[in-house]
Amino acid sequence: MLDHTAVMGVSYMVRGRSQAECAEALARLCRLLGAVPTLRPTDRIGPGWVARAVGPVVAREKAGR
């Protein structure tokens, strides 16, 4: 997982009613788009559960590739 505070560029957010729903949506997003999680599901940001990811280009740049 990348450090979400150091990543710039396109990012994606998923929101779910439960941790499981949010985690499933994050996994699907990452699988379909090649995205990398930057924030695992959390319920500490507003209502419901939230997770974030960045696209593969941002992830490669962060990894120095």
Domain total in the chain: 1
Range of the domain at 54: 11-63
Structure tokens at 42: 């959390």
* Banded pLDDT at 7 (limits 50, 70, 90): very low
Whether the pLDDT of residue 1 is over 70: the answer is no
Rg (CA), the chain: 11
In a domain, 15, yes or no: yes
What pLDDT was estimated at residue 10? Answer: 83
Instruction: Write down the pLDDT at residue 9.
Output: 72
> What is the per-residue pLDDT across 18-45, written as a single tens digit (0 to 9) for each?
999 999 999 999 999 999 999 999 999 8
**Is 29 within a domain?**
yes
In a domain, 49, yes or no: yes
C-beta separation of 59 from 24 below 8 A: no
